[in-house]
Structure 1
Amino acid sequence: MHDVAAELADRLAEFNPGPAFDREAVLFGAATHDIGKTVHPAELSGPGSAHERAGRELLLAHGFTPAQARFAATHASWSAAGVSVDELLVSVADKVWKGQRITDLEDLLIDHLVRAAPGTERWEAYLELDALLARIAEGADTRLAFQAVHPVHPLHA
């Protein structure tokens, strides 16, 4: 997922070279967004959201800042008030890595990008993001197949 987030951030930075988002924060968020699954290993292969709060708490307990820990808690709650463009990018990367396209989530990201780039038309941002996400999503089957060949076997479930 980290590679997808890096590709997404790099391409969007080319489209909008202004300070619309913090690339390093996005990459940190991508790397740590599911860290709470170490506390809730059943969520490695099954559904659940307990890992989100646990991940935030785990990062805070190990000296990370609230700004860094937020990604673990917000990557599945993109419609909450105050979600930043950095958090939206992590959420989009998390979804498109699996080949999922979530219109409401993508619309929120487009809104942020347009606000950060005066003079950019919404349709331009939409076309750019849509083409990029479609291309990234095409590789989802390969990524998921690779993951399936290397399953995680938690020591305790």
Structure 2
Amino acid sequence: MTGATPGPAPLPDRAARLLADTGAPPRLRAHLRLVHDVARALVAWTAEHHPAAGVDAEAVLFGAATHDIGKALHPAELSGPGSAHEEAGYALLRSRGVEERLARFARTHADWDAPGAGLDDLLVSLADKVWKAKRVPGLEDRVVDRLAAASGRERWEVFMELDDLLDRIAAGADERLAFQNAHPVYS
């Protein structure tokens, strides 16, 4: 389509404004667009195949769009290890008036195995892994368990369906990685 922005869909306006206000570097904005795009696919699939799961689509999509916002304050973590961005991102979002139910993903996205992690948290974590074709069996098992419990369907059946979806998503990882890497780490 002529005039279309290549790559993933733009971020929701509120998330895009927050990233602009914090001076988020291009690589971070690109990463968040990619994770948000994958989260959109996960949310749509879950709504279609497991509507009883009660996913808060708004929360998951906002969480995916802002989960790493703390890296605007800790830019070394854009290209290296670190977890300082998690609490920093949460604090930043809360200080900007973002509700707890939306801000929490900045803290929970890397701690998917924590007690109390809900399906919404797990979906943001899953999007943050599978966008680059990283498969995490323990995380995927938790998602399967939650979906099977909500739907009353057999666990193996839910596993097979989710596995197929994640394989399809993972197949686009090279293009997503190329898109992200085309953006500079620093402004």
**Shorter-chain TM-score range:** over 0.9
Q: Distance in 1 between matches of 2:174 and 2:82?
A: 22
- 1:20/1:113 contact within 8 Å kept: no
**What is aligned with 1:145?**
178
Long gaps (5+) in structure 1: none
C-alpha displacement of 1:69: 1.1
Q: Check if 1:50 corresponds to 2:84.
A: yes
Aligned match for 2:168, one of 135, 143, 155: 135
Q: One-letter code of the match for 2:179?
A: F
Q: Distance in 2 between matches of 1:104 and 1:146?
A: 28
Aligned match for 2:75, one of 41, 47, 54: 41
Long gaps (5+) in structure 2: 1-34
Aligned match for 2:125, one of 91, 97, 107: 91
- 1:113/1:125 contact within 8 Å kept: yes
Q: Distance in 1 between matches of 2:62 and 2:149?
A: 24
Aligned match for 1:122, one of 155, 161, 184: 155
- 1:34/1:72 contact within 8 Å kept: yes
Q: Check if 1:26 corresponds to 2:80.
A: no
Q: One-letter code of the match for 1:58?
A: L
Higher mean alpha-carbon deviation, 123-132 vs 60-69, is at 60-69
RMSD: 1.0
Higher mean alpha-carbon deviation, 142-151 vs 87-96, is at 142-151
Q: One-letter code of the match for 1:30?
A: A
Give the TM-score of the pair, scaled to structure 2: 0.79
What's the CA shift string for 1:91-135, capped at 9, x where partnerless?
0000001110000000011111111112x1101110110000011
Q: Distance in 1 between matches of 2:103 and 2:43?
A: 19
**Number of aligned residue pairs:** 153
Q: One-letter code of the match for 2:138?
A: D
C-alpha displacement of 1:19: 4.3
Q: Distance in 2 between matches of 1:112 and 1:32?
A: 24
Aligned match for 2:135, one of 90, 101, 110: 101
C-alpha displacement of 1:21: 1.1
Q: One-letter code of the match for 1:98?
A: K
**What is aligned with 2:15?**
none
**What is aligned with 1:75?**
109
Identity among equivalent pairs (%): 60
C-alpha displacement of 1:152: 2.3
